[in-house]
Structure 1
């Protein structure tokens, strides 16, 4: 399944990923500086949520594309697509 996203959606996902990238760099600095464990874990959780949201946005776009193309909803293809989407969702769980 090819990833085709509208410019606004793509920008939103890329911004989330850049934010997570900055958070991860900050977490590395915190660890190197010997910062409080609770603060590090809080930042790890925030970075994880940012990555999850980016992943869900990409999956939602894939679902939207699948629903917009009803001619590709033949039974074997639908089952295969469902299995692929389920695997993607579970990979973020």
Structure 2
């Protein structure tokens, strides 16, 4: 069995995702309550942004810690372009 792969940033990323999960549950309740579509879209955008930010943090952290010692130009270019995820 593989050992867990964890980084120091994982607890913060997990906390971000838990907040996004709570926010999404709130949006579901808003839908069930019949709230206006504009409000729903705004809140869904916030959830989507929170998840995207968590994903970016995870990928950037992985690159920094798992590929950080690599000095090749290709790795540097990969790290640079992932900033646009």
Relative to the length of structure 2, the TM-score reads 0.74
Query: 5 Å matches for 1:1-93?
Result: 3-6=5-8, 9-65=9-65, 66-67=67-68, 69-70=69-70, 82=78
Runs of 4+ in 1 over 3 A off after TM superposition: none
CA drift at 1:12: 1.2
Structure 2's unaligned 5+ residue stretches are none
Task: Provide the TM-score with structure 1 as the length reference.
Answer: 0.68
- Structure 1, unaligned runs of 5 or more: none
Q: How many residues align?
A: 79
Tell me how far apart the structure 2 counterparts of residues 3 and 29 of structure 1 sit (CA, whole Å). 35
- Following TM superposition, by how much is the alpha carbon of 1:74 offset from its aligned partner in structure 2, in angstroms? 6.9
Task: Say what the alpha-carbon RMSD is for the aligned residues.
Answer: 2.7
